[in-house]
Amino acid sequence: MKIDTTCVHGVKDKANLTGAVTVPIYQSSTFAHPGVDQSTGYSYSRLQNPTKEVLENIVAELENGTDALGFSTGMAAVSTLMELFKPGDHIIATDDLYGGSIRLFNNISKKNGLKFDYINTSDIPTVKNKITKETKAIFIETPTNPMMRITDIAAVKDIIKGTDILLIVDNTFLTPYFQQPFSLGADIVVHSGTKYLGGHNDTLAGFLVTSNSEIAERLRFIHKTTGACLAPFDSFLIIRGIKTLAIRMEKAQENAAAIAGWLLKQEKVTAVHYAGLETHPDYAVSKKQATGFGAMISFEVDSEQTAHQILEGVKLIMFAESLGGVETLITYPMLQTHADVPQEDREARGINERLLRISVGIENINDLINDLNQALA
Q: Please state the length of the chain.
A: 377
Angle at 329 between CA 327 and CA 331, to 5 degrees: 165
Our answer to whether residue 354 is catalytic in this structure is: no
Our answer to whether residue 13 is catalytic in this structure is: no
- The catalytic position among 13, 67, 95, 98 is 98
Our answer to whether residue 46 is catalytic in this structure is: yes
The CA distances from residue 239 to 172, 203, 276, 365, in Å, are 16, 12, 28, 27
- The catalytic position among 4, 46, 240, 288 is 46
Q: What is the tally of helices (H) and strands (E) in the chain?
A: 14, 12
Q: Which has the closest alpha carbon to 209: 54, 97, 81, 41?
A: 81
Q: Which has the closest alpha carbon to 187: 204, 203, 206, 209?
A: 209
| Preceding amide of 146 cis, omega within 30 | yes
Helix (H, G, I), strand (E, B) or coil at 189: strand
The Cα–Cα gap between 338 and 325 comes to 20
Which residues lie below 8 Å from residue 135, measured CB to CB, with a gap of 6+? 89, 90, 91, 92, 165
Q: Which has the closest alpha carbon to 255: 300, 288, 201, 292?
A: 292
The Cα–Cα gap between 247 and 124 comes to 34
- The catalytic position among 52, 149, 157, 195 is 195
Q: Please check whether residue 324 is in contact with residue 361, taking contact to mean a CB–CB distance below 8 angstroms.
A: no
Which residues lie below 8 Å from residue 182, measured CB to CB, with a gap of 6+? 63, 64, 65, 189, 209, 211
- The catalytic position among 13, 89, 170, 187 is 170
Our answer to whether residue 98 is catalytic in this structure is: yes
Q: DSSP character for 126?
A: H
The CA distances from residue 344 to 95, 334, 341, in Å, are 13, 11, 8
- Which amino acid, one-letter code, is at 222? I
What positions carry a catalytic annotation? 46, 98, 170, 195
